[in-house]
Amino acid sequence: MKKVKKMITALATSILVLGCNISAFALGFDINNDGVVNVNDVTFLQNEISNFNDNTDYDLNNDGRVDVNDISTLQIEISKNDIETIEKNTKLSVTTNEYKKNVGDTVTFSITTNNAISDITYSSSDSSVAKIVSTDSNTVKVKVNKVGSATVTAKQCSQSVSVRFSVEKAKCIDLSEWNESIDFNKVKKSGVTCVILRAGYGKDPNQEDNEFQKYYKQAKTAGLNVGAYWYSYATSVDAAKAEVKNCMKTIGGKEFDLPVFLDVEEYRQAVLPKRTLTDIIKTFCNGMRDNGFDSGLYSAKSMLMDSAYPNEISSNYLIWLAAPNESYSKLPNFVDIHQYDWYGRVDGISGNVDMNYVYNLNT
């Protein structure tokens, strides 16, 4: 009977990985007539087989024999019953049913469940607003990428629990070494949630922004969502490729919550053929993507509209537009980030600072 016991153990182990789609429990398996169907029925049948009892009432799998296969059938049915009982009593819960966040924020929350039989699955009602980044056991990480609302639902068997995300535009500032000493904790407390840092400029060596490394570390420590930009002088595709390499020397290995933007605002670029400037922008942005970073373009409204092909660029990359004298509602509908003021004041920064609103981070 050692073989019988080993088979029962193996079956019990395999049953634990069954999902929610199981057959109904057959009540006719109470072979010891004690009013319940459980492991005692397995023991009873095991003894009957050991005593060579070939009563056809014990032929549970209807194969014309009474043997170890009938024990297997009984064990499976008992396990199914246990699973059904657990599933009927499954309860899912979360500590918070609604989050009010700003574009660029990331939320990680856990699901509490009393059921360990099957995995929890997750879905978003609108992944452009609330994107599920990763899941791990009972934990899900969500990135909010656009103004709007969405619901993330966790489901296990027939039970589910939902968390609602209400997402508002993010208050954002962009910084370079010219902003000098900054208290990023005060910046965060002021209501700013995003910062875009100048990483450097051009294609030549030693053109990293002198404050980038320090700003990056301090902004991250303060809990701000961080992006970067690279000021461009490129007038050819080859120069744009060189700027990609130079930028990567500075930002390689870092993690950003916002994209890496190409800053295009030089007059030498404005007078280029539209095709040339558009290809310069695409070359840099594609280079960032090839290195694992989301990418986009920063420029003035007139520069983008008059010196490049805006629809071609906006259909592939994020658009961060400088238009301090216009309301967002009057800008082209492809604008994702609006730089609305060049003379803002923020606690933690001594001088003027560029002010922006982030509306969308989906490319």
Distance between CA atoms of residues 154 and 139, nearest Å: 10
Q: By three-state DSSP, how is residue 297 classified?
A: strand
Q: Quickly tell me which residue has 């396990």 as its tokens.
A: 79
Paired strand residues for 349: 182
Say yes or no: 243 and 278 in one domain.
yes
Its domain, for residue 193, covers 170-358
Say yes or no: 37 and 105 in one domain.
no
Tell how far CA 288 is from the center of its chain. 20
CATH, residue 322: 3.20.20.80
List the pLDDT tens digit at each of the 363 positions of the chain.
333 333 333 333 333 333 454 333 344 676 777 766 666 766 777 787 777 777 777 777 778 787 778 667 766 666 655 555 555 566 889 999 999 999 999 999 999 988 776 789 999 999 999 999 999 889 999 999 999 999 999 998 888 999 999 999 999 999 999 999 999 999 999 999 999 999 999 999 899 999 999 999 999 999 999 999 999 999 999 999 999 999 999 999 999 999 999 999 999 999 999 999 999 999 999 999 999 999 999 999 999 999 999 999 999 999 999 999 899 999 999 999 999 999 999 999 999 999 999 999 998
CATH, residue 119: 2.60.40.1080
pTM (2 decimals)? 0.79
Say yes or no: 215 and 159 in one domain.
no
